[in-house]
Structure 1
Amino acid sequence: MNELIVFTHIPKTAGSFLQKKFIEANVPPNRCYTTAGLKEFILKSSDNYQLFYGHLPYGVHLLTPRSVRYITLLREPIDRAISFYYSMKEVDIKIYKHPFREYADSLTLKDFYKNRNLQNVQTRFIAGVLSDKLYPKLPSQYMDNLILYLAQKNLVNYIYGISDRLDESIELFTKKLSWTYPIDMIPYRKTRNRPTKDDLDQETIQVLLKANVLDMKLYEFALNNFNKQFMNV
């Protein structure tokens, strides 16, 4: 059975751009499946799809007999956190209402990220399915150290890009996957009504740093190893 590409789409890391401008230009619509979760993946992964796209943490290769190649994009964690919070609030609820919309509307950016369920999202996705589920339920230094270790270990199995270095990332994907370069690089679903990091007060910045401390470490690790991917093309 042919290789299956799994795109781990971490929210607000330019994943929608990658899907619309890059994946859809290289994978026929009937060979690409957008999934809402693990149940769909289990039911559909044995079919003749070339790529699965969705919020799928690392580890789904254990749920299919096919050989799996993972791809993903990572983003500077504080910028991603700001974008995630404000992106929910700018969408017309008549078009789409995010599951966290009411929660986000009821809290400031600072208080929103005091919730452990919303912290260190990138590290949890790359650490794996079980780690992502257990992290909010088992707050401890041991759990934090474990999922950071797993994320760094698993990232080696990814072809990954950095959304802040999108041109280089797309070039890497084209070489690794033998795909064609996108026709345009215009951002897709960019969050517009949001502050920058420089606009935030220091108290809010400190809360965001604490809430994403593992993501910051994983991002630094990813940046340090990003150029090495080009050497293996």
Structure 2
Amino acid sequence: MKNNTHADDRILIFMHIPKTGGMTLKRIIKRQYPENKILKDITDGRISEFKKTVSEKEIQFVFGHLSFGLHMHTSQPCTYVTMIREPIDRVISMYYYVLGKKDHPLHGIVKDLLFEEFIDHPDLKIHTSNMQTKRALGKNSLSPSDLEQAMQNLKEHFSVIGITEMFDESVELMKQKFNWNDISYVKKNQTKKRLSKEEIEPNIINKVRANNELDIQLYNWAKNRLVQELKSINAIE
């Protein structure tokens, strides 16, 4: 992080990528800040609300299903955290979660689709094709060269890039960086009835893999980065 401002002086933005353990993390973070200093459920379509609120109130924590770039809409110093999940598993989880949640905005489309139809549906590509890279880049269309910029955004602006499969370690690192207190949790929003990667036909999994080549590279990079950071902290201790 290149910003020398103390973490407590920055607005913490949680970039919540769907089906990465974000609901659980959100509950942990919300306990760390006064309710009146939290701005909830900000999305890419609610930027004007963010700008207005942070100009009028002292906000310390902002969260929502948003993309990178929110910090550019305020003069106040900001930092981000996020969680990144193994991409193929994230897409499988997304399908079964939406399928079983009748009040989800996408349920009307997904309820009649098989998994293979879900990953091929043109209106759902934003959710099933390199979604995590798109969020880290801050735009919905990608070229292979955009991966480097997505990584650069994460390196320069995120205090912690967590990994869903290393959830406890990720949250512990956040606790250390932000001087949090209680980080105990009960998992929320888990998709209970779903097939595993191994239970789905290999040709379908290969389609998901092809649709998420950039996300797979981003995930491997972020996971390796987290492992190295944890090693260096343990070595110091």
The TM-score normalised by the length of structure 2 is 0.85
Asked if 1 retains the 8 angstrom alpha-carbon contact of 2:41 and 2:63, the reply is yes
Residue aligning to 1:66? 76
Distance 2:177 2:216 in 1: 26
Asked if 2 retains the 8 angstrom alpha-carbon contact of 1:8 and 1:53, the reply is yes
Distance 1:81 1:40 in 2: 30
Asked if 2 retains the 8 angstrom alpha-carbon contact of 1:61 and 1:68, the reply is yes
Distance 2:40 2:207 in 1: 34
Residue aligning to 1:14? 21
Aligned length: 216
Residue aligning to 2:90? 80
Distance 1:229 1:5 in 2: 20
Percent identity, please: 30
Asked if 2 retains the 8 angstrom alpha-carbon contact of 1:144 and 1:214, the reply is no
| Distance apart, 1:144 and its partner CA | 2.1
Letter of the aligned partner of 2:105 in structure 1?
A: P
| Distance apart, 1:212 and its partner CA | 1.2
Residue aligning to 2:150? 151
1:41 aligned to 2:19?
Answer: no
Structure 1 stretches of 5 or more lacking a match? Answer: 136-142
Residue aligning to 2:187? 187
Letter of the aligned partner of 2:89 in structure 1?
A: D
Residue aligning to 1:205? 205
Distance 2:29 2:114 in 1: 35
SS in 2 for 1:69: strand
Distance 1:103 1:12 in 2: 18
Residue aligning to 1:224? 224
Letter of the aligned partner of 1:180 in structure 2?
A: N
SS in 2 for 1:27: coil
Residue aligning to 1:138? none
SS in 2 for 1:160: strand
Distance 1:209 1:218 in 2: 13
Letter of the aligned partner of 2:146 in structure 1?
A: I
Alpha-carbon displacement from aligned partner over 1:26-76 (angstroms, at most 9, x marks no partner): 112111111342232222232211100101211111111110100101111
Structure 2 stretches of 5 or more lacking a match? Answer: none
Letter of the aligned partner of 1:40 in structure 2?
A: E
Distance 1:147 1:41 in 2: 27
1:108 aligned to 2:114?
Answer: yes
Distance 1:171 1:163 in 2: 13
